[in-house]
Amino acid sequence: MTQTAPLPLVEAAAATRATGRLSLAMWCAGIASFALLHAPQGLLTFIAADTGRGASDVAWVISGATLGLALSLPLWAVLAARLGVARAMRVSATTSALIALLLPLSPTLEVLVAGRFLQGAAIGGIPALAVALVHEAVAGRTAAVVAGGYIAAASVGGLSGRVVAPVLAEVAGWRAGLLLLDVLGALVTVTMALLLPRTAPSRAPAGRTLRVFVRQLRDRRLLALFAMGGMLLGAMIGMYNAIAFRLEAPPYALPAAVVSLVFLAYLGGTAAAQVSGRLSQRFGLRTPLLAGCLLMLAGAALTAAPPLPAVIAGVVLLTTGMFLAHSVASSAVAGFAGADRASAGSMYNVFYYGGSSLFGWLCTLAWTGAGWLAVAGVLCALSLAAAVCALVATRAPAPPRQPRAL
């Protein structure tokens, strides 16, 4: 006579397998989306030399993609309501992979920027919906840990593209480097699409989704977190947009392949994102949010120092602080929004990537016009402003007014 495992044990094992599959899908989502989105950042100096354009012009290869992504996010929220979160993410993955394969064929900088804008819009479904999918599929502390894993994977994706692309570009040109990375990113997005769980569409009308957006923009805590996200990513992308131009110029005059190693600072972001959920569970939201902002401020100040080790240390600190604060902030948005977490996640990412587009370009403009001290000033200002947003978002709500006794 055969014995079967007790039903609760079978259900627990199935839940564990489903959570593991979801975690792997989120890692693929983070790696693919950020590798495709930010791979050309390590190629900006190559593109500038090839096209004869300045730093602020070629920065639109990055800012154009993040702008397209930011503008597409509300549309992805509406599409997720019609199709379901997982199916919308699959559409995003497939479309972005196809566009990526065409980008290395761009004949001019303008065509490349336009293609990157479309690619960013296609990628938008992944960051817009990933954290919402996690909270829909699992609950409680598990959701925070899986969401932290997604952010950690995003740092790995951003690192891989930025480090590998310049090495390939020195051997075979920036187009060949971009093509190889886009092919690898496309394969990872397909893997993600296969691993995602099925989710049911909410069939919410578009008008309701727009009303939810308006209501969330009136929520003090959510609005502060939205603005904070734009400053966090804007500071980091702006720093990385400009740092290659600084380190390849005198007095450092480093080869591009060596400069690409500065992106290994993303490993600090990977570690910070991985522990962010546990830190927020232990200390609440305010402490890790402010700690991330203070790390960014210290890092921005250090990059202004002339010695190369100080510059690298500053890059590591700013990157680590950014991912720590962003991981906690994005998860807090999903928690504050409740049932409307998909639309809240989309709005957070509108600000997040919109800030990346604006401040990423602004930092290259500051570099072209006034050198690195101007860039460091922008980074410090963004870090301080993000800290103020953290204080506003975590301030305890005022107690309700009591009726006066007659």
Local confidence band at 13 (pLDDT 50, 70, 90 cut-offs): low
Rounded CA separation 326/316 (Å): 15
**Mean per-residue pLDDT, 227-231:** 95
Rounded CA separation 356/124 (Å): 14
Q: What is the CA radius of gyration of the chain?
A: 21
Residue 3 domain-assigned (yes or no): no
Q: Residue 341: which CATH number?
A: 1.20.1250.20
pLDDT at position 277, please?
76
Local confidence band at 151 (pLDDT 50, 70, 90 cut-offs): confident
- What's the domain count of the chain? 1
Which among 36, 208, 205, 40 is positioned nearest to 120, based on CA atoms?
A: 36
Q: What is the domain range of residue 383?
A: 19-195+206-393
Residue 73 domain-assigned (yes or no): yes
- The one-letter amino acid at 256: A
pLDDT at position 204, please?
58
Q: What percent of the chain has pLDDT over 70?
A: 89
Task: Among 153-162, 171-180, 197-206, 362-371, name the one with the lowest average pLDDT.
Answer: 197-206
Residue 10 domain-assigned (yes or no): no
Residue 404 has pLDDT above 50, yes or no: no
Which tens digits make up the pLDDT trace of 123-149?
988 887 887 788 777 766 677 778 777
Q: Which residues contact 112 (CB under 8 A, 6 or more apart)?
A: 47, 61, 103, 106
Task: Among 68-72, 149-153, 198-202, name the one with the lowest average pLDDT.
Answer: 198-202
Local confidence band at 403 (pLDDT 50, 70, 90 cut-offs): very low
pTM above 0.95, yes or no: no
Residue 161 domain-assigned (yes or no): yes
Structure tokens at 386: 């993000």
Local confidence band at 101 (pLDDT 50, 70, 90 cut-offs): confident
Task: Among 116-125, 198-207, 281-290, name the one with the lowest average pLDDT.
Answer: 198-207
pLDDT at position 217, please?
82
Task: Among 27-31, 152-156, 350-354, name the one with the lowest average pLDDT.
Answer: 152-156
Local confidence band at 308 (pLDDT 50, 70, 90 cut-offs): very high
Please list, residue by residue across 44-77, b when 16 or more beta carbons sit within 10 angstroms of its beta carbon and e when fewer do. bbbbbeeeeeebbbbbbbbbbbbbbbbbbbbbbb
Residue 9 domain-assigned (yes or no): no
> Between these two residues, 218 and 96, which has the higher pLDDT value?
96
Residue 112 has pLDDT above 90, yes or no: yes
Torsion, Cα of 128, 136, 154, 329 (10° steps): 80
**Mean per-residue pLDDT, 61-88:** 87
Rounded CA separation 37/70 (Å): 12
The listed range with the strongest mean pLDDT (15-19, 208-212, 235-239) is 235-239
Task: Let me know: does 158 contact 38? Beta carbons within 8 Å.
Answer: yes
pLDDT at position 383, please?
97
Residue 165 domain-assigned (yes or no): yes
Local confidence band at 84 (pLDDT 50, 70, 90 cut-offs): confident
**Mean per-residue pLDDT, 286-292:** 94
Task: Among 19-28, 29-38, 94-103, 148-157, name the one with the lowest average pLDDT.
Answer: 148-157
pLDDT at position 314, please?
97
**Mean per-residue pLDDT, 314-334:** 91
Quote the mean pLDDT of the chain.
85
**Mean per-residue pLDDT, 45-63:** 92
pLDDT at position 12, please?
54
Task: Let me know: does 29 contact 156? Beta carbons within 8 Å.
Answer: no
The listed range with the strongest mean pLDDT (93-107, 181-195, 386-400) is 93-107
Residue 69 has pLDDT above 80, yes or no: yes
pLDDT at position 126, please?
87
Residue 342 domain-assigned (yes or no): yes
Which tens digits make up the pLDDT trace of 334-343?
778 776 776 7
Residue 12 domain-assigned (yes or no): no
